[in-house]
Amino acid sequence: MTIYPAIDLKDGKAVRLTKGIMESAKVYSDEPYHLARAFEEMGSDWVHIVDLNGAFAGNPMNLGAIQKIREATTLKLQLGGGIRDEETIKKYIDLGIERVILGTIATQNPEFVKTVAAKYNVVVGIDAHDGYVAVDGWAKTSSLKATELARMFADSGVKAVITTDISRDGTLGGVNIGFTEDVAKAGGIETIASGGVKDIDDIKAVKNSPFIGGVIVGKAYYEGKLDLREALSLQ
């Protein structure tokens, strides 16, 4: 199990949303790279970054903050939000991003994702409302089931799938283990749980699942509900 501490970027600042609603943004740092440094000092190998503005706009919107994080740490960076073409992927890989997350484009153009997955370290982000895939910064819900989308990328070269239960994201309501396991079984790809982590018990539940390879930690840490050092020690 790998733990991915999260930094969500909005207007250059680190924020957390509740259920993906931009207006719910709560600012936790004006200098997100300070958070990344703290994660590294606590023993993390990764940081999970989402360009929230980019997710809505469809192109990179927080490049300056991302560059600062890259320059300030030796962490491996996993980045998503507004990555819809190969040019953007190349830009981020050249910047030193370890893995790029493709979300909306994975639903709209699965063949494109398979093509770039053969060249780059690609992760597919599957965000769902009641089991159905949401796109465009979660502003729209499609008619495609999350499990069906995961199945499309079986044996495609995609490095991992990140599943987010939007109804739990930022709520501290607990990880949806069942949903994450269903997606993992459908795709047969390493699957990372996201959304709803409330405390150390969720970390233990993920670790105890034979199907889930990792978990993204956000609000639980920022709100003091989770000791990140303790969580990282369970990896």
- Which residues are designated catalytic? 8, 127
Radius of gyration of the chain measured on its C-alpha atoms: 16
Helix, strand, or coil (residue 85): coil
How far apart CA 156 and CA 189 sit, in angstroms, is: 9
Helices (H), 75-135: 86-95, 104-108, 110-117
- Beta strands at 99-102 and 122-129: parallel, antiparallel or unpaired: parallel
Nearest to 18, CA basis, from 162, 161, 163, 172: 172
How far apart CA 162 and CA 128 sit, in angstroms, is: 11
Helix, strand, or coil (residue 208): helix
Nearest to 18, CA basis, from 216, 231, 218, 180: 218
> Whose structure tokens read 């639980």?
220
Q: What are 104's two structure tokens?
A: 């909306």
